[in-house]
Amino acid sequence: MRKIIFVTGNSHKVSEACDILSKAGITVEQNNCGYPELQDDSLEKIAGFGAQWAANELNSEVMVDDSGLFIDALGGFPGPYSAYVFDTLGNENILKLMEGVANRKAVFKCVIGYCKPGNEPRVFSGEVEGVIAQKIRGTGGFGYDPLIEVGGKTFGEMPDDEKNSLSHRYRALLNFAGWLQKSD
């Protein structure tokens, strides 16, 4: 099996990546060394920059994940600032921002950045469309999972295997794994 270092401090993302990529013969090892996060409105630029920096720093092939929740009625907010907004406001305050709002459409997007030392990064994206639920539902998942509803259920209400078969991260990792298998 091929091993790739996943540079992230988020053990939930690592667990999902392990589950999804193991089916493609890829093992994932977490490294929490961190990387300077480019301040940009593009998840692709942020993930590519992070992957290239981490690959050169660790002298190893690496992957990073930059994800965002883009809410239509809020002009795409929080978008690339989703982790900061979640840590600062939390799900309850996102719901307060959405009080009385009829358009609850949202897109959950994930971009996987991949790089080998000394190379240019590659990025692989995946997204899922849904709506912001009227209230927090479910205890599964992490982050915004209890807020984003897809097919009548929030990610927080779904068992891991269901979420990991349709999520934004699943789609990005599937694109990544497909490219890796063709590039070998």
Largest CA distance in the chain: 51
Strands 26-31 and 62-71: unpaired
Nearest 5°: the CA angle 54, 58, 61 is 75
In Å, what is the CA distance from 135 to each residue of 24, 144, 168?
A: 36, 12, 21
In Å, what is the CA distance from 18 to each residue of 22, 27, 29?
A: 6, 6, 8
pLDDT at 38 over 80: yes
Q: Which of 19, 40, 65, 66 is an active site residue?
A: 66
**Domains: count for the chain:** 1
Write out the two tokens for 72: 């239509």
> Tens digits of per-residue pLDDT, 53-101?
999 999 999 999 999 999 999 999 999 999 999 999 999 999 999 999 9
Residue 66 falls in the annotated catalytic set: yes
Q: How many helices (H) and strands (E) does the chain have?
A: 5, 8
Q: In the chain, pLDDT over 70 holds for what percent of residues?
A: 99
Domain residues for the domain of 104 are 2-183
Q: Residue 172 belongs to a domain with what CATH number?
A: 3.90.950.10
> Tens digits of per-residue pLDDT, 92-110?
999 999 999 999 999 999 9
- Helical pair 168-183 and 11-22, crossing angle rounded to 10 deg: 50
8 Å CB contact between 159 and 167: no
Q: Which pLDDT value is given to residue 33?
A: 87
Nearest 5°: the CA angle 45, 49, 52 is 140
pLDDT category at 184 given cuts 50, 70, 90 is low
**Which class for 1: exposed (0-12), middle (13-18), buried (19 or more C-beta within 10 A)?**
exposed
